[in-house]
Amino acid sequence: MRILKLFLLMLFVGTGTTMAQQKQKAIETVKISTPTVQCESCKNRIERYMTREEGVQSVKVDVKKHITTVKYFTDRTNIENIKTGIANAGYDADNVTANPESYAKLPTCCKKPEDGGGMDKKH
């Protein structure tokens, strides 16, 4: 009886470890160039917008390096969907250009310098 309990315990622990490893494989991290990010307002806008996207686990925008790091579930979304999501928020993402309508709605501080925007030290 003791051996049977030990066997079942080992089987259960082994299955739990395998399932945890499979879950870890389903999450990927990608770094996307977001050159049009200008300020903290941009950072907050992208992070807020992207956390609502299906399959996105977390988003971190580095304003100084113009890099957005996204952790996502590979079975729910992909890199192209993430880039499109950032573009739909109004920002360029790698080779995907910002959605013109979304870009037009951005505050002045979040627009490109050639469009009258740029870094405002208050943000």
- Summarised one tens digit per residue, pLDDT across range 57-116 is 999 999 999 999 999 999 999 999 999 999 999 999 999 999 999 999 999 999 988 887
* One-letter identity of residue 6: L
* Interval 18-47 mean pLDDT: 84
N-term to C-term CA, the chain: 68
Instruction: Return all residues near 37 (Cβ < 8 A) that are at least 6 apart.
Output: 43, 46, 61, 63, 66, 68, 91
C-alpha separations of 41 from 10, 44, 48, 53, 123 in Å: 51, 5, 11, 19, 6
Pick among 3.40.50.10490, 3.30.70.100, 3.90.1150.10, 3.40.50.1220: CATH of 27-110? 3.30.70.100
Q: What is the pTM of this model?
A: 0.75
